[in-house]
Structure 1
C-alpha cells in the first residue's frame, strides 16, 4: 500500500529533515539526522502493522476524495503537519499538490496559493520608453489582446498606424527594427510577438531597445512576448531585456466552467442575432464554445489528453464562428460535414501534427456538432444537455446552473485520468524541489555525504552489475538460416552492445576523473550530475530505448532486457511468450511476423496485415510458441480495462490506472483488400486487420482501433494499431484516450 523504504522527517518536522527526505533514496544513501532516523524507524516498525490491524480505517482514509483534509487514523492523527505530508506522499501521491497548497495556505496565508488578477492598465502605468512590457506566454492565452484593447481606448490602433504589430519569424527582423525606429520617433506602440523564434537577432534587439530608450518620445512603448524555455539551460533571452522589462504571465482559465465562460465572452448578444438562421447559429456557436473548452482544458491530462501539446487559442474559436456564420448564410441546410471538416482539419486541425490527435479532434466534432442538437436531443457531456434557444446572459446562467461539477467525464475521460495527471504533477514538483537542494548532504553533527561520494557509490553499483557485451562473432557463427526473427535478434544484440559499451566507457572515465587520473570534462560533469539526480544520462538515453523511468528503475529494466535477449540468442528459438516491451525496436519484431508469414505463403509483404486476438491466459500458461505469429505479454491498458470473461473493452476500475492485458496472439493475415484499406485509413499511417476490412458495418462498430505506444509519453513512441472488441461505440474509447502501453 505504501513505500516505507523512503525516509521520513523527524517528529519536530525540522527543515533539515524535510530536505533529507526529499533527497533520500535507500539504494543510494543513508539518513544522517538522528531525529530523522528515529522517526523513520518508528514508521517502519509501526505503520505497516497498524494498516494491517486497521484496514477499514486506513482504506477509508486512502479512498476518500481529499485525504489531505482528513485526520490520519488512530494515534497517527497527532503527527505534525510535515509528518502528515510525508505519510500522504507514500499513500496518495496524487494528492500531494493539493496537500502542499493547503500546508502553505495554513502556514503563510491564502494569497500565496491564489493567483491575483492584475488590471493590465496598472502595468501600463508603470511602463515607459525605457521599461518595456514582456509577456511570458501560456498555452491557450493571448495576452496581446489586452494591449490592443487598451491601445484602442487610448488611440493606438493598427488602422491609424500608431500601433505596429510584428509577428517575428524568418525575415521579419528588418520590419521590427523599422517599426521600433518609427515608434521611438513618433511616440507609437510596438508589439513584438514570439521573439523566441529569432534567437540570433535577440542581442541586436537588446541594443536597439537600449539605444531608442535614451532619445525616444515619452509615449513610446514596446510590448514583447515569448514562450518560456522548457529547461533552464535552454534560456535564450538576453538578461538586459528581462531586467529592464515588466514581466507578466497570464495563466489560462482552469476547469470546464471557467473555460466555457471564457469562450463565450468572445461574443455578445449582437453576435447571436447576426445570422438569419438564428436558432441553428446559436446552437452551433454554443457547441463550438464547448468544443473549444474541451480541447483547451484537455491538455492538463498530459499525453492521455493529447499526444502532443497544441497552442489552441481564442483566435481559432472566433475564426470558426465566422466560418459558421458564412456557411449558414450561404446554404439552405446546415452543412454538417463541411463544417466539421473545416473546424477539425483546418481551423483547429492546423495546429495538430499527430494523426491520432487528429482522430480525437474529429471525434469531438462528430459528437458536438450533430443534427440531434437542433431537436434538443444531444448531451454535450453526461448530465449536460445542449442548451435550448437562449439569449447571451441566458447561456452564461445555463452554464452556472446546469454544468456538472468539474470531472474528467466532461471531456470524455475516465476519473483515473485525473489521478494520473495529479500524480505526474506531484512527481514533477518533488523533482524540481530536489534539483534546487544543495549538492552536499549533512547534519549538525558534521557527518557529510558529498556529491562525489554518492555518485561514486552509484557508479560502482552499475559497473558491478553490468553484463558483458554479446559476442557477435560467436552468435552469428552458430546460425545457419537468417530468418526474420534471427535478424531481429542480431539487431537487438548490436544495439545493446552499443549501449552497454557507452555505459561502461563513460563510467570508467568518470571514475578516473574522480581519482585525478583524467581531466574532468563537461560531459563527465553532466554524467555525474545525472547519476546524483537519479536521472538517465543523456549520452545513454540517446543510444537506448524510449523510457520514462528514473535511473534506478531504468537500469533494473535494462538488466532484465539483457537477460531476456541472452536467453533468446542461446538457441534462437522464439520464446513461448515474447516480452514485446523488451525490444529497442518493437516494430521490427512485429514486421518479422509479417515477413515470416509472407515467405511461407509466397505473397508480397504489402498484402499482409497484422491481426491480434486477446487470449484468456498469462505468459506462464504457454510452454511453446505458436506455429505462426507470436504470443506477446507485458502489455498495459490506459483509459480502459479488459473484461477477461467476455473479451471486450470495459470502463476502467477506479484507481487502477494501468491494468495488465492478458497475453495477445499476434499473427498475419493475407489481405486482398489493400485498395479498400487505403481508403478506410484516410491518410493515417497504420494498418487495419483483415477482420476490420471484411466485416460488415455493424461489426466494425464493435471494434476499436487501439494505438500501441512504447511509453506513457505516447506521441513519438507509437508502435502499431490493433483492433480490440467492444460493445460501446469506438468514439467512447477515442475520447477516453484508450491505448496499449509497453511500459508504465
Structure 2
C-alpha cells in the first residue's frame, strides 16, 4: 500500500520474512507460549516499523505509524467501521437530510454538520445535543489553541477512547489532527511509534550484504555523499570507494565498475539513478545475476535516486532503503549555509563590515524562501526547488560587487540575486514579485545598522560584526521554532499550514484504502453508491436553453451582433450543459453497472471509488471548472451556478454578477471591457479596470446597475480582511483565514487613467479561481488559475501585503 504514497516505497514478502526470522532469533525467549507469542508480536512489530521507517520521508513516517496503530485496533475490534468511515470522510455524505442551523453564533455550519453526522455513529449518540446544552464548555474547546490535548466537555472525556476523541477533533478542529494523531498513536501502541530512528548510516551498514544494494532516496537539497565518504573513511575504504554520477552514456562505465568491484571487494556508488532511466533495466539484470555469483564479502553497491516510477521494483524490494533530508527551520538552514563555507571565505571580502551583514542577510533570505514553501499557496503559488548552488552563487556575487564597487550597490544586488539567481527558477510572476519583496528586507541599507530587527518582536535581528566563531554562536542562539512573522506572514498562516498537512495526510490514507473501508453506515458500498447516484440523478438541473430568455439577455447591437455579455453567456451555457450531460449519462451507467446490467468499465470503477470517498469523479472534473470542493459541496455549488445563469437568461442581466459562478471568469472580464469599448468607441486594447470596493455586503441590496462597468460579488480574501467602514485592506482576524468581500465595482478606464500601486496607497491584489492559485502557464504569460488584478486601498506599503501572500479567491475548498 505504501507504494501508492511514493513509488520508492516497495517491500517484498521475502523482505518481511527475512526481517521476521531475524526477530525470532533476537527477541527474548520464554517457555510460556502465550508470553513468547506476545513478545514476538510486539518485538517484530516495533523492529519492522523502525527498519521500514529509515526508508520513509519524514512526512510519511507518522502516516505509517498511524496506519499500523489503526490496523491493530480495527483487527481487535476496538475501532469500528463507522468510526473509521467518519474519520476518513467527515460529514461528506450528501444523501443525509439537511441539518438544522448552527445552535451557536460561534459554531460554524460545517462544524455543526460534522457533529450532527458524528452523532449518528454508535458511541457518539447525543454529542450534538451536548453541544447545544453545554455550549460554553464546547466553545472553550473549539477556540482553544490546543484542542487536541484539552479534555472534552462533560462525560465525553471519560467515555470516549483515544481514537473516538480523534474523531471529535476531526469534527471540530480538523487542522489539529497533525497534533492529535501522534498523541493517539502513542496512547494506542506506545511512544516507540512516534519517536522515529535518526539517520544512522553505520547501523544501516551493519544490516547490509554484498547482494543487498543500499539505496538513498533523495529529496531536494539533500546529498548523502558526505556521509558515505565519512563511513568509508571510518571503515578504511576511502581509496576503495568508486563514485559515478549517472547520465547519458555512463551505463557501460557503471557496469564495468560493478564488475570490477564485486571481485576486488570495493564499494561502488552510482549517483542520480533517476537520470539514467533507460539504463535501469540493465542494472536490474546485473543485480539479479549477482544473487547467483560468488561475491567478495567486502563488496557493497550504493545507489542514490530521486523518487521515480522508473526505478526497478525488484531492486527496491531487495535493497536497503534510506532517506536523508535537508535540515528544516530558519536556524538550521542559516547554520548550514555558514558551515558549508570555510573561515577563509568568511574573511575574504575587503569590506568586512557590509560583507558580514549582507552575507547574513542573503543566508537568512535563502532560509526564508525555502521554509516559506511549507505554507502552501500563501507562501508561494508554486514550491520552487532552490538549492545550495543558488545561495553559493549569490554569496560570490555579493562579495564580488563589494570588492569592485566603492559603495554598496543595493539595487543591483537585489536585481541579480532576486531576479536572476533565485528568480531564474520562478515561473509565476506573482511569485517573482514575492521573492523580490522578501529579498528587499535583507539587502538594504537598514540591515547594515547594528541590531536592526528582522521581525517586529525582535526575536530575529541582524548580528553584530565579528569573527566566524562569533557568527556561528549567534546563529545557534536563534529561536528553535519559527513564527510566521519571520516569513512576513500573519499568525493565521500556521493554521493554513496545519490544514495543508492534515489534508495531505487524510488524502494519503484515503488513496491507499481498499473499497471495503468506505462503508460504516450499515450499508454495503454498493448500496451507498447506488443511493448517492440516485440522489445526484434527481438533483441534476435541466439543460440551459435560450427558450423564454428575457429580451435584454441576448439583445443585438445596431450592427446586428449579440451584445458581448450575451455572447459570453451563450458560451457559458454550452460549457455547463456539457457537464450536465456528462453527469446525467455517467450516473445512469454507474447505476446499471452496480446492478450488473452493463460492464463496470475502468472509468466507472474510478467513479465508484470517488463516490465512496466523497471526491469529484475524473469523468466530471475533466469537463468541469476548477474546484477543490468535496463531492457533496461540489454538486451543491454546480446547482447554484446553473440556477444563477438560468435566472440571468430569464430575467435579464443582474444588478450584480456572481463572478465565481462562471466557468471562465476571464471571459466575463473581456466581455465587460468589450461592452464598454462598443459603447464609448474606445479601442478595447487601451482599456483596463479600476476596481472600487463599495459598502454593500449583500448583492440583493443593489437597486441599480452602474452606468459603466458592472458590480460583482461572491469573492473571498485570503491573508487579510476588509475594513468595510473606512474601505481599506486590514490585517486578518485571529483564526479567520478567509474574509467575504463586499460588492466590487469593476469600472473600465483607459490605460492612462489606470491605478498605479507603485505610487502608494494601493495593493495590486491577484484574483484566483481556487486556493491552490497555481495553474498551467497560458499564452498570456499568466497561470490559468489567475483571473485579474484588483487595486485595493491600503494604509500599509504594498510590500507588506505581498509578503503576507494576500489574494482574492473565487471559491473556498469546503
TM-score normalised by L of structure 2: 0.79
Match of 2:284 in 1: 206
Question: Structure 1 unaligned runs (5+)?
Answer: 1-8, 230-234, 673-688
1:191/1:222 contact within 8 Å kept: yes
* Separation (CA, whole Å) in 2 of partners of 1:139 and 1:574: 52
1:591 shift after superposition: 1.0
Q: 1:236 to 1:28 in 2, by over 3 A?
A: farther
The alpha carbon displacement at 1:523 in A equals: 1.4
1:99-178 to 2 correspondence within 5 Å? 99-127=180-208, 129-147=210-228, 150=231, 163-166=242-245, 168=247, 172=248, 174-178=249-253
Residue 439 of structure 1: aligned partner: 515
Q: 1:589 to 1:731 in 2, by over 3 A?
A: same
Tell me which of 230, 244, 257 is aligned to 1:182: 257
> What is the aligned counterpart of 1:18 among 83, 99, 119?
83
Q: Deviations over 1:226-263 (max 9, x none)?
A: 4436xxxxx44321120122211123433333333333
1:98 pairs, out of 179, 182, 192, with 179
Does residue 422 of structure 1 match 2:422? Answer: no
SS of 1:610's partner is strand
Match of 2:756 in 1: 692
Q: What are the Cα deviations for residues 27-51 of structure 1, in whole angstroms up to 9, with x where unaligned?
A: 35899x9997453322122222211
Cα distance in 1 between the residues matched to 2:186 and 2:668: 53
- Which residues of structure 2 form unaligned runs of 5+? 1-73, 98-114, 557-561, 776-784
Counterpart secondary structure, 1:69:
coil
**Change over 3 Å in CA distance of 1:221–1:724 after alignment to 2:** farther
- SS of the aligned residue for 1:41 comes to coil
State how far apart, in whole Å, the 1-side matches of 2:277 and 2:543 are.
43
Which SS does the other structure have where 1:380 is aligned?
coil
Question: Aligned in 2, Cα 1:50/1:707: closer, same or farther, shift over 3 Å?
Answer: same
Aligned-pair CA distance for 1:270:
3.3
Closer, same or farther in 2 for the Cα pair 1:379/1:555, shift >3 Å? same
By how many angstroms is 1:737 displaced? 0.3
Shift of 1:617: 0.6
Alignment counterpart, residue 325 of structure 2, candidates 212, 235, 251: 251
Q: Is the 8 A contact 1:166 1:176 kept in 2?
A: no
SS at match of 2:619: helix
Question: Cα RMSD between the aligned structures?
Answer: 3.2
Instruction: Check if 1:47 corresponds to 2:131.
Output: yes
Tell which deviates more after alignment, 314-323 or 646-655. Answer: 314-323
Work out whether residues 386 and 422 of structure 2, in 8 Å CA contact, stay in contact via their aligned partners in 1. Answer: yes
Structure 1 residues 442 and 255, CA gap change in structure 2 (3 angstroms)? closer
Partner of 1:302: 376
Match 2:764 to one of 705, 708, 713: 705
Query: CA shift at 1:613, angstroms?
Result: 0.4
Q: Distance in 1 between matches of 2:696 and 2:96?
A: 41
Pair 1:79 & 2:159 matched? yes
| Cα deviation 1:174-229 (Å, max 9, x = unaligned) | 32332332343256655545444555553333224434674777665544334436
Aligned residue in 2 for 1:260: 334
> CA distance change for structure 1 residues 211 and 329 in 2, over 3 Å: closer, same or farther?
farther
Match of 2:675 in 1: 596
CA contact (8 A) 2:691 2:744 kept: yes
Alpha-carbon shift at residue 741 of structure 1 (Å): 0.6
For 1:222 and 1:364, locate their aligned partners in 2 and report how far apart those are by CA, in whole Å.
44
Please state how far the C-alpha of 1:491 moved relative to its aligned partner.
0.8
| Structure 1: distance between partners of 2:118 and 2:149 | 30
**CA distance in structure 1 between the partners assigned to 2:226 and 2:762 by the alignment:** 45
Are residues 1:483 and 2:563 paired?
A: yes
Is residue 2:796 matched to residue 1:728?
A: yes
Q: Which residue of 446, 449, 464 corresponds with 1:372?
A: 446
Greater RCO (Cα-Cα under 8 Å, separation 6 or more): 2
Report the equivalent of 1:282: 356
Q: Aligned in 2, Cα 1:474/1:642: closer, same or farther, shift over 3 Å?
A: closer
1:323 and 2:388 equivalent? no
Contact 2:768 2:807 in 1 (8 A): yes
Distance (whole Å) between structure 1 residues aligned to residue 786 and residue 240 of structure 2: 49
More displaced 10-residue stretch of structure 1: 643-652 or 109-118: 109-118
User: What is the CA–CA distance in structure 2 between the aligned matches of 1:565 and 1:163, rounded to whole Å?
Assistant: 68
8 Å CA contact 1:164–1:179 kept in 2: the answer is no
SS in 1 for 2:772: coil
Secondary structure of the 1:565 match is helix
Residue 732 of structure 2 corresponds to residue 667 of structure 1: no
- 2:431 alignment partner, one of 342, 357, 377: 357
- Cα deviation 1:634-684 (Å, max 9, x = unaligned): 111111111112211111110111011111000110124xxxxxxxxxxxx
Mapped pair 1:580 → 2:659: yes
Given candidates 592, 596, 601, the residue that maps to 1:512 is 592
Q: Structure 1 length as normaliser, TM-score?
A: 0.86
